[in-house]
Amino acid sequence: MDKCYRAQPFASERARVEYLFDLYQQLTAPLAAEAERGAKKPRRK
């Protein structure tokens, strides 16, 4: 499973989790920014 994410094996479970959370943050950052911009816009009536 680890080879799906990178060529080198992870040194520990913690390293694996940190790496995966970093990937998650990179993937969701644009979505969070878009949601924040949408929340600031006034709604049309």
CB 19 within 8 A of CB 6: yes
Q: How far apart are the first and last CA of the chain?
A: 50
Could you identify the residue written with the tokens 């009536």? Answer: 45
* 21 band by pLDDT with thresholds 50, 70 and 90: very high
Write the pLDDT tens digit of every residue in 8-19: 999 999 999 999
- Domain boundaries defined on the chain: 2-40
**pLDDT of 44 strictly over 90:** no
- Find the mean pLDDT for residues 15-29: 93
User: Could you tell me the pTM of the whole model?
Assistant: 0.63
- Find the mean pLDDT for residues 22-35: 87
CB 5 within 8 A of CB 23: yes
| Distances from the Cα of 6 to the Cα of 17, 21, 23, 44, angstroms | 13, 14, 11, 46
pLDDT > 90 in the chain, percent:
47
